[in-house]
Amino acid sequence: MKRVGKGAGLMVALATAGLALAACGGGTVNEAASSSAAPAESSAAPADSSAAPAPADCGSWGVAMHGWVGYTASAQVLSDVAREKLGCDITQTQLDEAGVTYDAMEAGSVDVIIEDWGGGRWQEWVDRGAIVEVGLNGNVGLIGMYVPQWMCDEYPGITDGTKLNEYADLFVTPESGDKGAWLEGPPGYTTIGEKLIEANGLNFKIINTGSEAALIEAFTKGNDNKEAVLGYFYEPQNFLAKVPLCRINFPANDWTDAAKASGLTDYPETPLVKLATVKLMDSGSPFATLVQNFEWTNEDQNQVALDIENGMTPEEAAQKWIDANPDKVAAWLEGTGAS
Amino acid sequence: MLRLRWVQALIVLAVWIVTATALKGVQTQELSTATDSPFTAVMRDLAASIRGNRTESFLFVYVFNPIRTAISGFIELFMGVIAVPADGNLIPLLGWFGTLALIGFVVYATSTLRMALFSMMMMLLCGMLGMWLLTMETLAMTIGAVFLSLVIALPLGVWAGLNDRVMKVLRPWLDLAQVLPTLVYLAPLALVFLIGIASATIATMIYAIPICIRITALAIKGLKQGPIEAAESAGSTRWQVLTKVQLPMAKSTIILAVNQTTLAALSFVVIAALIGAPGLGKPVIEALTIRNVGDGVVAGLAVVLLAVMLDRATSAAVNRDQSGYAAADAAKVRRRIGLAIFGVLTLVAIYLSRYLLVFAVFPEQLNFGEYVADAANAVSDWITDNLGFLTVTGSEQFTIWILNPLQGVLADSPWWLTLIAITLLAFILAGRTVGILVFVLLALVMATGLWNDTMLTLAMTLIATGFVVIIGIVLGVWAGRSARVDRILRPFLDAGQTMPAFVYLVPVLALFGPTRFAAIVLGVVYAAPVVIRIVADGIRKVPKESIEAAVSAGSTTMQVITKVQLPVSRRSILLGVNQGLIFVLAVVVIGGFVGAGGLGYLVIVGQSKPELAGKGLAAGIAIVLLGIILDRIAQGRPQKSPQGHH
């Protein structure tokens, strides 16, 4: 016991000394960092003073990050513009799509979803006053079931989704028993595969591959080895530029909320929506204006996404696009006071 | 008597298989993912009402939300010191160099200088993998969670050790907690406490507290009565006996409880990332989504290094206490001087780490993580390219000839047939009480509406357990008989038990595709080390005399194994089967991430889609029921007589 007493006493002494040290904090690395940033800002200000007044203080905000590379592209560009041009403190948090993120927004740990496919599934949270739609982000999404191009060339009739039963046995694998294998989208994504199969009486079995990467691998193999693959995919996705896929079509879409889909009609062309917390949009922060103004095309997103897939870090790819498109960025910054 | 039971079981099996094949596809209770059963609809509405009440209901505003804020705040205190910079700062309170020195000092103070240097080296390696901040986040979370767990579990454990009635009340909850696969209580926790540090910490505590209670209670109970009686007869009060005699005597076992609790908490770290825990779990999960083996391996290695460091350091603290360290005076003085010098050096390091950038932020020049990741990716690609054909074909053939037929009997046959068959087998193999229990539990599974998915998961679990038992017995016997084999196997067993399953999920996926077979392989890799260890331990406990007697009577090696070692270590083997089953179930559920379907997939998709939340929660309940069923059947008949074998 005495031994423990001595050891504990030593640690207490150390802790006290350590805390005392931490308390007298003149000139720490932290302060050096913030002070080296300040002179840069003050030297830039005189040059700008003839132009618009300096941007208001931006604050700290959270941007939700989702699993697919297109989203990463959009969100990274948004976050980097906010950091560089507006001086915002942005935290990017990886989260599952939909419910999980809406909950996080309600709790205040995340403020922006830059691309939501959900056709109104966020209504519950809007009703509770947590989330608000901030318009469209300019990208148009289209989900669908795809097969490798060679299959459309060899079986032209296959593009009619209602007639898939004629080709079901092409897709049989050990995982699907005696039915065709229908590779469904990852858990968080909008999927109505089961409804399509049931409503159209298709002789297929859903296989949940679990990730977009698994789908990409399956399609790549199907394309390279001329294997039959029927899988979930979507635009905008730069993968489609690398490996040609052709889309299976169902009767024209008539729904926006997947939970209400009957299964008789196809996925909709979805103008992708920006969502933000009421807290952000009411704050008057320049970041809110940036989010309001943010929009770009599918081609823009594909460019950045392709760079990321080819090995650049998201930060590098976003920076490359930002440097190459100053006019688009300027348009987003209108009304924030920065340039 | 034994033979009759096996014959009965075989007859039941035969009738079952024949009838199942004849009635294939009839009343299978198959339910598409998007459809709710009555029970899951109730759960879905419950989930929606919880979500709606989070800001309004009394329970939430005054109980749950404050708990969440308190726990988050507490953990963030630790994080603020070593891992996470406060707003606007570049570094947390202590830079990396200072933290490294502090860790070394703490280890030195609780054990030896050598262990301190070892610990510092392990942490340095984590930094060199580019994982310094993430490792510190995980370390901070683990320390905080362990502290909170000990605060609750140690008193409870002491109380249970002193009072048998308390133990009786606690026991079924402790049993349940051990059978519960971790993935199952993540979703309910996230529902009530929102994803983030608080949920992750509470989940870790749920996992670690039962272990701590059990060990502590055992320690207190197992104390020699002599000193206690002496103190009592000398007139000490109950409290004095507790604090001055019992607790000091149990001290080393209590430190062991700390050791086990720490490891349990750490092993939870990756899964906790699924509900927003910061730290090393995040890159592992991300690597899974983008199928990047290298990143997953780097983070996984950091987890292993941290685990090894904590394990050795806390074990050394146990040993130091146990050895009764009555060192010579000269050694004591040396140690005190050593501690003082190290203490001063630590203070210097802390100072430097706050004022010099190179000691504050882990230097990029020392970061070799990218090379490790590239190497891991290269190996994985090579294996996939060259062995891929073999593994994919192998898995396909296995699926066609073994997995699908078994699944056909379990899942594609009438539910009432399967229910009766399993109940009968439970009666035969484990006795009347278990048989009745199994029947009730299976009926409950039926009531959830998830019968078909449960049978799918059961098929994978049984096959994986079969493999695990075979591997476990073969390698366990070998390691039990040969110290050399044991030494060779040990690092693999250690790595297998500490490396998170998600890390090797990515290469397993790459090799076998998103299939049920991949989930089975995952289960085998995860559970085999545990079973090997238990069986080897049992073999080693077989009395040498029995073996020598058999050998001198002329038995061959095979006969010694089958007629002496295996029968005598039967209880260990049964324990191994039991533990193997539980571990396999926990991981086969993770297979739901990657195409295995079944209950695991429902748990995961229930977390992502609010309309499927009911199915996710119900699937969690079904997994628990399945776990209890398998656990009880595998424990065999209740022992009638408590006597040993020889």
Domains delineated in chain A = 58-140+271-332 (3.40.190.10), 141-268 (3.40.190.100)
The model's pTM is 0.79
Q: Of A24-38, B80-94, B144-158, B623-637, where does mean pLDDT reach its minimum?
A: A24-38
CB-nearest partner of B347 from A18, A94, A99: A18
Which residue, B321, B343, B360, sits at the end of a domain?
B321
The residue among B199, B355, B407 with the most chain A CBs within 10 A of its CB, best to mutate, is B355
- Contact, A64 vs A91, CB < 8 A? no
Q: What is the mean pLDDT of residues B460-488?
A: 88
Contacts B246 to A, Cβ<8 Å: none
Phi first, then psi: give them for residue A121, nearest 5 degrees: -70, -5
The pLDDT confidence band at residue B121, using thresholds 50, 70 and 90, is very high
Q: Which of A208, A215, A220, A309 to mutate to test the interface with B (most CBs of B within 10 A)?
A: A208
Q: Is the ipTM of this complex over 0.85?
A: no
Q: Is the pLDDT of residue A324 over 80?
A: yes
Query: CB–CB of A211 and B360 under 8 A?
Result: no
What part of B 190-219 touches A (C-beta under 8 Å)? 190, 194-196
- Mean per-residue pLDDT, A316-320: 92
Residue B644 has pLDDT above 50, yes or no: no
Q: Do B347 and A21 touch (CB under 8 A)?
A: yes
Say how far apart CA B111 and CA B320 lie, in whole Å: 6
**Residue A17 corresponds to which amino acid?**
A
Mean pLDDT, chain B, integer: 83
Which residue, B321, B350, B372, sits at the end of a domain? B321
pLDDT digits (tens, 9 = 90+) for B488-529: 887 788 777 777 777 777 778 777 878 888 888 888 888 888
Query: Is B86 a member of any domain?
Result: no
**What is the Cα–Cα distance from B520 to A107, expressed in whole angstroms?**
38
Nearest-CA distance A310 → chain B (Å): 13
Residue B593 lies in a domain: yes
Please give, rounded to a whole number of angstroms, the shortest distance from the CA of A104 to a CA of chain B: 7
Chain A CB contacts of B194 under 8 Å are 103-104, 107
pLDDT value at A86 more than 80: yes
Residue pLDDT, tens place only, B206-238:
888 888 888 888 777 777 677 778 878 888 787
Structural domain of B618:
386-634
> What mean pLDDT is reported for chain A?
81
Q: Which residues from chain A sit within 8 angstroms of residue B243, using beta carbons?
A: none
| Tally of CA atoms within 13 A in the half-sphere of B8 that contains its CB | 16
A327, with CB counted inside 10 A (0-12, 13-18, 19+), is exposed
Of the partner residues A28, A30, A104, the one whose CB lies closest to the CB of residue B195: A104
Q: Which of B463, B582, B478 minimizes the C-alpha distance to B527?
A: B582
Number of H helices, E strands in chain B: 33, 0
B581 has pLDDT over 60 = yes
Question: B637: pLDDT confidence band, cut at 50, 70 and 90?
Answer: low
Residue B139 C-alpha from the chain's centroid? 18
pLDDT, residue B641, reads: 40
3-state SS track over chain A: CHHHHHHHHHHHHHHHHHHHHHHCCCCCHHHHHHHHHHHHHHHHHHHHHCCCCCCCCCCEEEEEECCCHHHHHHHHHHHHHHHHHHCCEEEEEECCCCHHHHHHHHHCCCCEEEEECCCCCCHHHHHCCCEEEEEEEEEEEEEEEEEEHHHHHHCHHHHEHHHHHHHHHHHECHHHCCCEEEEECCCCCCCCHHHHHHHHCCCEEEEECCCHHHHHHHHHHHHHCCCCCCEEEEECCCHHHHCCEEEEECCCCCCCCHHHCCCCCCCCEEEEEEEEEHHHHCCCCHHHHHHHHCCCCHHHHHHHHHHHHCCCCHHHHHHHHHHHCHHHHHHHCCCCCCC
Please state the rounded mean pLDDT for residues A100-121. Answer: 85
Same structural domain for residues B292 and B391?
no
Instruction: Test B361 with A29 for CB contact under 8 angstroms.
Output: yes
**pLDDT of A54 higher than 50:** no
Is A18 at the interface with chain B, CB within 8 A?
A: yes
Token duo for residue A188: 């968080």
For residues B267 and B144, membership in a common domain is answered with yes
Residue pLDDT, tens place only, A134-166? 999 988 889 999 999 999 999 988 998 888 899
A251 interfacial to chain B (CB closer than 8 Å): no
Q: Is residue B60 part of a domain?
A: no
Let me know if residue B363 belongs to a domain. no
Instruction: Using pLDDT thresholds of 50, 70 and 90, give the confidence band for residue A11.
Output: low
Residue with tokens 């859903």: A206
Same domain, B315 and B399: no
pLDDT in tens, B361-384: 888 888 888 899 889 888 888 887
Is B109 near chain A, with CB under 8 Å?
Answer: yes
Q: Average of pLDDT values for B549-573? A: 82
**Facing residue for B354 by CB, picked from A29, A121, A259:** A29
Q: B221 and B316: one domain?
A: yes
Residue B350: which of A18, A94, A198 has the nearest Cβ?
A18
Residues of chain A positioned with their CB less than 8 A from the CB of B282: 94
A99 close to B (CB below 8 A): yes
Co-location of B297 and B445 in the same domain? no
The pLDDT tens digits for B339-357 are: 889 889 988 888 888 888 8
DSSP 8-state code for residue B364: G
* Pairing mode of beta strands A231-235, A131-148: antiparallel
- CB-based contact B605 A14, cutoff 8 Å: no
| Mean pLDDT along residues A13-39 | 54
More confident residue, A104 or A21: A104
Interface of A with B in 150-209 (CB under 8 A): 173-175, 177, 187-188, 194-195, 198, 206-209
Q: Mean pLDDT throughout B136-159? A: 90
| pLDDT at B20 exceeding the cut of 80 | yes
Q: Is B318 helix (H, G, I), strand (E, B) or coil?
A: helix
3-state secondary structure B108-163: HHHCCHHHHHHHHHHHHHHHHCCCHHHHHHHHHHHHHHHHHHHHHHHHHHHHHHHC
Q: What is B382-404 written as a DSSP string? A: HHHHHHHHHHHHHHHHHIIIIIH
Q: Specify whether the backbone of B29 is left (phi greater than 0), alpha (psi in -120 to 50) or beta.
A: left
Q: Which of A76-85, B204-213, B532-541 has the highest mean pLDDT?
A: A76-85
Check CB contact of B49 with chain A, cutoff 8 Å.
Answer: no
Reading the block at residue B262, the tokens are: 């720490």
Among residues of chain B, what percentage have pLDDT more than 70? 95
Q: B595: which chain A residues are within 8 Å (Cβ-Cβ)?
A: 175, 207-210, 214
The tokens 């030195």 sit on which residue? Answer: B108
Residue of chain A minimizing CA distance to B594: A210
Q: Is B581 domain-assigned?
A: yes
Domain boundary among B306, B321, B336: B321
Q: Is residue B316 located within the same domain as residue B427?
A: no
Alpha-carbon gap: A198 to the closest alpha carbon of chain B (Å): 9
- Calculate ∠ Cα B374-B380-B385, nearest 5°: 125
Q: Are residues B167 and B291 in the same domain?
A: yes
**Diameter of chain A measured on Cα atoms:** 87
Residue A111: pLDDT over 70: yes
Backbone angles phi, psi at A139, to 5 degrees: -90, 145
Same domain, B293 and B424: no
A317: pLDDT strictly greater than 70: yes
Note whether B391 and B311 are same-domain residues. Answer: no
Model pLDDT, residue B638: 60
- Backbone φ/ψ region at A329: left (φ over 0), alpha (ψ -120 to 50), beta: alpha
State residue B158's pLDDT score. Answer: 86
Does one domain contain both B447 and B304?
A: no
Quote the pLDDT of residue B643. 41
SS3 B638: coil
Report the candidate in B366, B491, B393, B590 with the shortest Cα–Cα distance to residue B603. Answer: B590
Average pLDDT, stretch B441-460? 91
pLDDT value at position B496?
76
Residue B349, helix vs strand vs coil: helix
Confirm whether B540 is domain-assigned.
yes
Residue A77 has pLDDT above 90, yes or no: yes
Region B109-122: mean pLDDT is 89
**Nearest to residue B613, comparing CAs of B40, B88, B68, B156?**
B40
Query: If we measure between CA atoms, which residue out of B261, B273, B280 comes closest to residue B205?
Result: B261
3-state secondary structure (DSSP) of residue B95? coil
Of A21, A60, A210, the CB nearest to B350: A21
Q: Are residues B485 and B604 in the same domain?
A: yes
Report pLDDT for A40.
Answer: 35
Distances (CA, A) of A225 to A146, A150, B383: 16, 10, 19
pLDDT higher than 80, residue A20: no
**Residue B646, pLDDT score:** 34
Answer yes or no: is B31 within a domain: no
Domain CATH number, residue B287: 1.10.3720.10
The answer to whether residue B96 sits within a structural domain is no
Q: Chain A interface, mutation test: which of B134, B186, B290, most A Cβ atoms within 10 Å? A: B290
How many folded domains does chain B comprise? 2
Mean of pLDDT values over A230-247: 88
A124 inside 8 A of chain B by CB: yes
Alpha carbons B235 and B215: distance in angstroms, whole number: 29
A214 touches chain B (CB under 8 A): yes
Do B473 and B585 have their domain in common?
Answer: yes
Best CA proximity match to A93, nearest among A120, A78, A75:
A75
Instruction: Give the closest-approach CA distance of A98 to chain B in angstroms.
Output: 7
